[in-house]
Structure 1
């Protein structure tokens, strides 16, 4: 697929546009983001195969099987933390979601939970039904009662590929047990990627790691919340 090919060495520019002028910014810079570009970045945002600093996060709408409601990013006005995962992942996703749970705890402790929403999108809708996601939330100690964490589930594998892989650039590939015996049945090779998005839909950070630093992410989240409230 196009984005997977890009990750193998081909660069591309542009993402789907999301309306917004970041009218809430207090710094008066005219920029559509709060945070400066990452100090250690090696490529401009336009050279990356996923939305990055200063670019619009492509809009999407997906159901939350735990609440029975559909979440549409264009209707949200909070700071967003967006990632992809699958509940039976034995390693990478455990670390990734575990770090984001730490960020969620920090938003509660710092009394900014109402201004932040976490969107965790499964790319394994075949197995990750409401029951599996509820059990996963309990296992990972997600504070669902805080009201700022959404588990989102595409309708089917094709929808997951369209939203998670092709639109967000969180590439994944299903592989059989013979290729990856870690999980019974099938597994996924996938990119670990998390977006921090300001209330007007622009990417402040794209953390390309399976273990983002929870303290740094929380600091970034808090800065965006303060500057856009």
Structure 2
């Protein structure tokens, strides 16, 4: 994501303060809008994945449905980033349906053009274009809104490099599972809220995210950056 000056000027700094940004006054990390995340389980630097106040590691991946490549460093919107696999029989389906609820709330707030949803599959073998389209239909994703992109690494190795190593969203392939035939994954469920400057505002753990909370956090970040 392009790094831009955060809320430059005195008036903008005041806006950042009322939105919970402590960096303008030396009380927290720079480049954030929201205040510290109270339910974060450890200091950001001690977590495997990027958390509050840390930069989102750069990546470039293809959306096979839209036929485009998404470069995280070129994104200038507030973004939701997570790792999933669509044949997951439990947690990923719950998470994706809840993110669809967030997408709808964002639309109701008139912020569709200011946001991006970027679920990254770490199962490129099964998650081809057809599987991703099926998932969008079954979970209710509004692909026509233009703010939802399923991202697919080309290989298992690339998936590990981006999702596991770079983003720190750990996963492990296993053939010892009663849930799926062939293979399954044990994995961490983390969803990142990233501001337009590429700084992580929130790292929500677990699949049962609070849709109203996430939508509210998105709206706060979008409104703060709208004043730039």
TM-score w.r.t. the length of structure 2 is: 0.89
What corresponds to 1:9 in structure 2?
A: none
CA deviation after TM superposition for structure 1 residue 210, in Å: 1.4
2:197 aligned to which of 189, 195, 200:
200
Q: Is the 8 A contact 1:18 1:57 kept in 2?
A: no
- 5 Å-filtered alignment, 1:101-180, equals 101-176=100-175, 179-180=176-177
TM-score w.r.t. the length of structure 1 is: 0.88
CA deviation after TM superposition for structure 1 residue 22, in Å: 2.5
Q: Is the 8 A contact 1:20 1:201 kept in 2?
A: no
Q: Is the 8 A contact 1:196 1:205 kept in 2?
A: yes
Q: Is the 8 A contact 1:18 1:56 kept in 2?
A: no
Per the alignment, in what secondary structure is the counterpart of residue 173 of structure 1?
strand
CA deviation after TM superposition for structure 1 residue 44, in Å: 1.3
Instruction: Give CA-to-partner distance per residue, 1:61-108, whole Å, 9 cap, x none.
Output: 000000111000111100000011001000000111111110000111
What corresponds to 1:214 in structure 2?
A: 211
Aligned length: 211
Structure 2: any 5+ residue segments left out of the alignment? 18-22, 25-29
What corresponds to 1:27 in structure 2?
A: 16
Shift in CA distance, 97/44, structure 1 to aligned 2, threshold 3 Å? same
Cα distance between partner residues in 1 of 2:164 and 2:6: 27
Per the alignment, in what secondary structure is the counterpart of residue 119 of structure 2?
strand
Instruction: Give CA-to-partner distance per residue, 1:173-225, whole Å, 9 cap, x none.
Output: 0001xx11101111000000000000000000001111111110001011001
Structure 1: any 5+ residue segments left out of the alignment? 1-16
- 5 Å-filtered alignment, 1:29-68, equals 29-30=23-24, 31-68=30-67
CA deviation after TM superposition for structure 1 residue 19, in Å: 4.2
Per the alignment, in what secondary structure is the counterpart of residue 120 of structure 2?
strand
Q: Is the 8 A contact 2:48 2:169 kept in 1?
A: no
